[in-house]
Structure 1
Amino acid sequence: MSSALIDLVWQSTLETLYMVAVAGIISALVGVPLGVLLYVTRPRQILAQPVVNGILGIVTNVGRSIPFIILLVAIIPFTRMIVGSSIGTNAAAVPLTIAAIPFVARLVEGALNEVPPGLIEAAQSMGATPMQIIMKVLLPEARGGILNGLTITIVALVSYSAMAGAVGGGGLGDLGIRYGYNRFNPTVMLITVVVLVIMVQLFQSLGDYLVRKSDHK
């Protein structure tokens, strides 16, 4: 493998990591609170607001139902407004983030579903406020599930980032399409796939380790 190809692979790997990191951090910062809201605003929950819950549920479901490749193209005007361009890693991070937020929210909601209702009732009987229940009961009890959900999201973002290469998003997907597929170079395609597989395995292993460390049961 030539030094030029090594440089291309290295640069593309860094671009992919950058896109995944930006989208992962922002989607966690927005998606986790959104998932908590989806849970606590349900009927008969600690902050029951059926109307609010219904609106949040519809918005989340719409966000999850749009295929990423369509979302990627559909929000190009919004992407240009945010980062000033529709190509490159910064541009690709916008649809990646938008796609990941509802995904994270539903996974967090699912993790909170696993918290025994008795714990919430016990906290309420001791006079805990809704915020105290969220911070001291729900989130600590669901920590392992939330971390597992974030791991699943990061792995999905790696796949989505490769898809973004189809429209000039940069990263390993762009490398595979431009230098592998378009130039009929199976070596570049193989290298791209191998790097992506290794990246996914590393993220999954790290996530599994954090889940095990956080499991206090």
Structure 2
Amino acid sequence: MEDYFLTRFQRKTRIELQRIVDNQEHFQPEAVLAATKLLNKKLSEQALPILDEAAYPTRDEKLKVDRLSLSLDYRPFFRTLSYRELLTSISIALFGLAIIGIINYYSDERFFKDVHSIWRGHTILFVFLANHIIYRYEHKRSNNFLGRSINDLFLLVSLMLLAISYKFIIGGTYDFRIGNGVLGIIILVSVITMSIFSFEIGLGLLKMLLKKIRCQIF
């Protein structure tokens, strides 16, 4: 990721690089590190005092960066939010529902008979992971924890709305009843929130592992 920013910042002026360093809370740690290195290089070429890189986050030493704040910062996600996220969520949701439809169609076959529920669950996990992978390749950067959670919510809403619409088109209905409507909404929102956060915590651990082996895909 740092190499990406080094290439991207090559043509930035010393003032632009200094602005990134001075406002590091608005940028990813890798971007700040790349800007610091390029700025030091430009200053050394001009025979000016070199900035102390220890004052800024590095790959091995990020004492100045609050990792929790970075992971819960909503601004990077909404800064680039556009119709593209909505179209991607709808496309992935349609793909996931199509796969689930195929699994349901062949659920009586010997291959799917006893495991079709497991296949459906794995399909749901796959489409949520694919959503993050596509986001990374569309934006050329990884999403943080809160950004991924919001993106998950977009995909979940798309899945639910498309599933309900399909059921309505073919003449079926979803029968969801609960005695206390307010309590039902609170329970539903709580379950969805906990499920998304739990899923993202697991993905966060997977992401750390992939970075260790230099195979980051989301």
Length-normalised TM-score, structure 1: 0.29
Higher relative contact order (CA 8 A, sep 6+): 1
Length-normalised TM-score, structure 2: 0.29
Q: Considering only CA atoms, is the larger Rg found in Structure 1 or Structure 2?
A: 2
